[in-house]
Structure 1
Amino acid sequence: MLWIDGTLIYSRQTQHQADYIFAIYPGQHDLRFRTKDREISVKGFYVEKGKRIVASFNAARDTVFSYSDKTLRQGQIITRMLPKEQIGNLGTAEINELKKQLISVTNNFGAWQLPNLNAQIELPAFIQTAGDLYYLNPESNTIYNNKLRTQVPLPVLVGPFPRTDIYNNIPKVAALIVDTTKIGRFEIEGGYQYTLYRDYQKLKNWDANYIRKDAYDFKPKLTFDEKIWAVGDIRKNVADKFSQLMQNSGGLAQFVTIKKTQSPKYLI
């Protein structure tokens, strides 16, 4: 879990596209990390405008650091080993905060069924807020339903939502878009499962098992190619799925005789 200036920004619990990269305003900020066995506070961390910064800290001991720009306040790293009962486990306060900050969304987005292939590609769905985009189904996540005797999509755990819209004087408003269709706006309230349609929305309390209580080791993938996703990246991801599926599919080719003035064509 990561807080920036006291606001929860990231949780490893979520299931949407959540690369470990964040947009942040220039200036000094206070960061707080909750790892498997420690709580690490970084005070006065400076972010320069227009630059991508990869930050790493020595969590073994407290550290004081300063900047060449004397107008900036001195920075500090404070590391605290967690009590034994919290090592590898989230505390009650952390679980309650996740319940307040996260929602789940029913995957009723639909899918494209490819002709002559026993395969589907889900329509891309994403939630858009004032400052962030949450790609809900970069990968298919299903479970076998014994009654229906088929795979069905699982709800998607999403959040947190540090930046949201105000619409008609209602705070914490976001919009759900499926492919190119705007399903509608909705008010975000943590701890609920949302089933969203164009004409109405349905809410119900969470299943208690949505929040994982174990805190496990997490080592972010270090890459300078990583970026914050935009709508164009979602479109490209879907196009890549179609391309990979077609490349990995095989079948018989039927030769069709057509007019002599044209070249023969193959139908797959």
Structure 2
Amino acid sequence: MAIFLTKDSKVIVQGMTGATGMKHTKLMLADGTNIVGGVNPRKAGTSVDFDGTEVPVFGSVAEAMEKTGANVSVLFVPPAFSKAAVVEAIDAEIPLAVVITEGIAVHDSAAFWAYAGAKGNKTRIIGPNCPGLITPGQSNAGIIPGDITKPGRIGLVSKSGTLTYQMMYELRDIGFSSAVGIGGDPVIGTTHIDALAAFEADPETDLIVMIGEIGGDAEERAADFIKANVTKPVVGYVAGFTAPEGKTMGHAGGLKGLLLRLGGARGAGDDGAGVAHGL
């Protein structure tokens, strides 16, 4: 079992023919992901050779779904065009859209999140600004390294990409059922609570690890949900120590605050953030 993504998932890549899309499509294929197509209206009707695997390019998400039966889209689309790409995926009613792109305007994220709701939430959105999700040994939709862990019975949901990789590597001898990077932007689709509910319902997940960040109340709401609804053991980690009141911080800024408190960062400026981000 797994949540959201299995070996039977048929994946398309919006933005596959760009440099980033090409790079990560190749890596996802190497991890065993069943990638059935890419989407680029300007290159529709062509195909891309990934070390002997020909992946066709379609003009739209709807066409790709019709021709291949795709049920997952991974988006490597530049920020300025991401809103339109996600809306296209929602209009096609693809069940899962994984938005990897960093730097999408919050207004755009809020708009496509609201649009998905208005359309009946037929498309689950993961992200934006996230590493995606992986079910080790089955499928990988995003940029999580596929060789840092093995299949197991731990479920992981995390705001931070870097800490997702670190946790998976540290627990590699135990292994994971699925790992979901939900992203740390102010407006995201799938939340900690959504993933916690899915792991609670998954009979092959025995324990859940939740990684959060200081700033905002998402982790407090997740804790309330766990208390009321989750019977499995949950280990929680919130990165950071202090944040300015009312300010949502990513893991780099949050860890900078922690490092400054511990004397591990060089100062309160960008250098400190750089040190933190490098952890």
Whether these two folds match at TM > 0.5 is no
Please, what TM-score do these two structures have when normalized by structure 2? Answer: 0.26
Which gives a bigger RCO, structure 1 or 2 (Cα 8 Å, sep 6+)? 1
TM-score (norm 1): 0.27
Structure with the greater alpha carbon radius of gyration: 1
Higher fraction of helix: 2
